[in-house]
Amino acid sequence: MKIKYIFTTLILLIFSCDSDTSKKKVLSENTGKQNEIILVINDSDWRGVAGEILRNTFEFDMDGLPQPEKLFNLVQINPLEFSRFFRTHKNIMFVGRDYEDSYTKNKWAKSQIVMYINSNSNEHEFKTSCVRSFNFLNRKELENIKYSYKSAHNTEARKHIQKSFGIDLFLPTEYSVSLKNENLFISDFHSFNEKQDLLKYILVYELFPNEVDDIQHQLLNFTDSILKGNIKGAIDGSFVQIDRRMPLSEKDGTYKGMWTLKNGFMAGPFVLKSRYIEDRFIISLGLIFYPNEKKRDYVRTFEAIL
């Protein structure tokens, strides 16, 4: 009897464990690109005012790029066509009159964002909802990029930057450190073959501002002096400078624009972040050279980790 009782108990425990496991939600990996949004909306709304507001909010061209590249791409799908095939996409947005403004994480896949926007409101309220959703998705993308490098980065470079400049920067392991002192840090990555020529730089340096010139003028001029002395071209006498002929955007101390090679034939986008810490500006700068290729993801990485 005792043996029979133990055997019965074990069987019950096994079935109980199987039952608990079956109740757990098993999520698959997400699919799709980081900058793609599956937009589930009626065709008529997509062709109307709601679609125009959504496109203006999410699909604008990024600043500081030589060719037009959109920050996000909307892939519109009619609700009747939304099937299991699309459910694992990384970013999904439902827009309709029966939804309440909200979002949920990991609904059908890991690291997934599913957003809902109510379109049964006036134009101003709908625009506000779209901007709120954009800000959330934009912030999450940058957080995800930064987190991806947190688990695998150059720890020695990070310690040096923390000690010398007082900021936290997760330098990707693919970069080589070429200069490291208390006032200037330079790292670079170069990949060259028949199909591509990819060159990236990350610099960190400090500026003690004066009270004569405006801050932007000082930041750009000092950056040019750093670049002229340290980032040279292959041709003798060539050096990198900020291209003052091209548009320059600024938001919350982050500048985006184009650099050019003086006495040479190279150019590309840059991202510059400035932080005011203890009477000095700490500047982190990312440069990218990738001719004839899309540069959106590289610029976004600079935005996230600098």
pLDDT at 171: 97
CA–CA dist 103, 224 (Å, integer): 44
Residues 6+ apart with CB under 8 A from 133: 93, 101, 103, 115, 117
Report, as ranges of residue numbers, the positions in the chain whose pLDDT lies below 70: 1-25, 194-195
User: What number of residues does the chain have?
Assistant: 306
Structure-token pair, residue 151: 């688990």
pLDDT at 194: 65
pTM: 0.86
